[in-house]
A and B are shown apart, each in its own frame.
Chain A
Amino acid sequence: MGGLALWLFKYRFLGLFILLESIGAWMTFSEVSYHRSRLNQFQIEIAGNYQYRIHRITRFMGLDEENLRLNQEITALKLQFSTKNVTNDSSEGPLSASNGQGSLSPSQRNTFLWPDSGILLDFASPARVVFCGMGSQQNYMLLDRGSLHGIQPRMAVLQGNKIAGQVQAVSEHFARVVPLIHTKMRTSALHPKSQTVASLVWDGVSTRYAELLDFPIHIPIKIGDSLVSSSYSAVYPPGLRLGRVDRIDVIPGAVTYKIRVVLATDYRQLDHVQVIRPALQGEREKLLPQALN
């Protein structure tokens, strides 16, 4: 107690100084509206900055759940939007809903349009990539959805409008996917400008690049041209992005270019995907010889 009294006595002038300054500040802020408003602005600024920083940290920590929620919401919205389209659609064409409905079997009537590309689907589901191998020549990915969620082999795996791969096998809760970065994967690619179809294969070197084979040298192609999935594939609906032409090499004596393609899907950042199946896939595949499947 005596120590406290001594301490207070020692700093009595400082205490009085702080007290008088506080009274002066109180008088200023209570009497002068300009200072009061400036103080309010300062408080708002400080509180806003603090809240913003807290929000940034919590947002970063909650990003995982947020992405999952967004992915589910996107898929649900697409389904909802496409259902409306099917109801209202009166356009003509081989895959349009109104035209197609009549020729579908009862089990296949539950089809819808995928909004971004106008593709008719009969299945779509969001999924998360739980593993994505990139270190070998024959990579694979694992999704957290399996047969219990309706996933089946030969369904297409997309990231938005970009092709990521196709389902190879499923268990109850997981699905194994063969990505484009698999040396035995050969995907039919369309060059939209010239309407030329070629084959996209991975050379096993970099996960960002693949090669476009069998593209004839008499057809004009430029660096930066986009490549999309062709209608030849029974797994991938046509028009989905595969990549862009990155380098064109002319090999002397050859009748085709050697073209390097930068893949649209970045497998290093692949997390949320959608699994889809084009409508009438089963019917179409029945007609093809087994070797082509």
Chain B
Amino acid sequence: MNRRPWILFLLLIFMQVSVFNRIQWLGVFNPMVYAIVLLWLPLSWNRAYTMLIGFAVGWWIDSSFQSGGIHAMASVWLMYFKPFWVKFTVSSVQLQDNPDPDLRDIEIRSLVSYAGGLLLLHHTLLYTLEAFRWASLPNSIFKGSINTLLVSGLLWSLIQWTRSLDSRKLQDNRF
């Protein structure tokens, strides 16, 4: 639990409010990087707490951009389905060894389906709620897929970066 990059989480939430929500390139690219924080939260925490945290984070984003409660709703969905989804995507052997795997510990194939699936659910739901129109559903799915790719790329970079930071710290401690 202590291995989670907590400062990075706070930074990502503030970055979402200050930077990423202002990105509306071509009306398609609007990544929701705060979803990374929700995704990275420990699985061992009580599910009710994680849902409340998801709601609180979403509410913070909503209140910053006067979007009602759509981010809160999408975040609660993500947090509710996370424990189900991890059982489908991460191998049971790995979950037996470590029931609360950090994203950096999950092998790449499982990570793609685990993180990618939840990010796609979150983004698609969010854009669908934002458009709130059946006719816009294909567009919401498209927009959700594009932004899922972007956020997944960012998540992969952050994982690599924090890994390198951890290994550097380890080396410093040795010396």
Contact = CB atoms under 8 A, between A and B. Distances in A.
A12 B47 CA distance: 10
A32 B80 contact: no
Contact of A24 (B47, B52, B72): B72
A34 B69 contact: no
A17 B76 contact: yes
Contacts of B59: 27
Contact of B69 (A13, A25, A38): A25
Chain B, interface SS category: helix
A16 to B, nearest CB: 5
B55 A32 contact: no
Interface string B39-75: 0000000011001100100110010001111101100
Nearest to A29: B68
B48 A13 contact: yes
B132 interface: yes
A24 B69 contact: yes
A21 B66 contact: no
A29 B73 CA distance: 12
Nearest to B71: A24
Contact of A21 (B47, B48, B76): B76
Interface in B60-99: 62, 66-70, 72-73, 76-77, 80
A24 B66 contact: no
Contacts of B73: 20-21, 24-25, 28
Contact of B72 (A12, A13, A27): A27
Q: Chain A contact residues: over half helix, strand or loop, or mixed? A: helix
A30 B52 CA distance: 21
Contacts of A20: 51-52, 55, 72-73, 76
Contacts of A28: 67-70, 73, 129
Given A16-B51, A17-B51, A24 B76 contact: yes
Contacts of A92: none
Contacts of A29: 68
Contacts of A12: 48
B122 to A, nearest CB: 13
Contact of A26 (B62, B69, B77): B69
Contacts of A24: 55, 58, 68-70, 72-73, 76
Interface of A: 12-13, 16-17, 20-21, 23-32, 34-35, 38
Interface of B: 47-48, 51-52, 55, 58-59, 62, 66-70, 72-73, 76-77, 80, 129, 132-133
Given A17-B80, A23-B72, A27-B68, 6 more contacts: A17-B51, A20-B55, A20-B73, A23-B69, A27-B69, A32-B66
20 contacts: A16-B52, A20-B51, A20-B72, A20-B73, A20-B76, A21-B77, A23-B55, A25-B73, A26-B69, A27-B62, A27-B68, A28-B68, A29-B68, A30-B68, A31-B66, A32-B66, A32-B68, A34-B132, A35-B68, A38-B133
